[in-house]
Amino acid sequence: MIVVDANVLAYTVLPGEQTEAALRALEKDPEWVAPPLWRSEVRNVLANTMRLRGLSLEDAVTAFRHAGRLVLDAPAPADTHQVLALTQRTQASAYDCEYAALAESLGLAFVTGDRRLAKRIPDIAVTLADFVSR
């Protein structure tokens, strides 16, 4: 089981440069978990893709449903102290640190599509590319 962020989920359900890597990650470890925040973040990616690349509403809804079948919701909400301590230490957003805190609390790898985030939290996060190349 791994924690994945909204980027990895979006790469999996929206065809693009990172789709192949995301699908390889899914093959490597098909049990994905994320904080419920993933829904809002993936919706935002889909909304932006609709605006900027002409993704249809129907295709966006289908992509969202597909993402929902790939990931489990975290068994418990992220600990606020842990999230804020991570933001203080890393200068990453609270949104990003929510994924990292979940991974840390569950003792799981956190696979992210955000290279900068992985560099900020190397003890918790690993890039999608690094995860699939292991």
pLDDT in tens, 12-61: 999 999 999 999 999 999 999 999 999 999 999 999 999 999 999 999 99
Instruction: Decide: helix, strand or coil at residue 21.
Output: helix
Segment 68-82 shows an average pLDDT of 94
For the chain, the domain total comes to 1
- pLDDT of 76 reads 87
Structural domain including 42 reads 2-133
- pLDDT of 75 reads 87
Q: How confident is the model at residue 77 (pLDDT cuts 50, 70, 90)?
A: confident
Among 40, 110, 111, 119, which residue's Cα sits nearest to residue 82?
A: 110
Q: At what angle do helices 6-13 and 37-53 cross, to 10 degrees?
A: 50
User: Domain containing 21 — which CATH number?
Assistant: 3.40.50.1010
> pTM of the prediction?
0.94
pLDDT digits (tens, 9 = 90+) for 95-128: 999 999 999 999 999 999 999 999 999 999 999 9
- Cα(119)–Cα(21) distance, rounded to whole angstroms? 19
- pLDDT of 63 reads 98
Q: 92 and 78 in contact (C-beta within 8 Å)?
A: no
- Cα(117)–Cα(93) distance, rounded to whole angstroms? 9
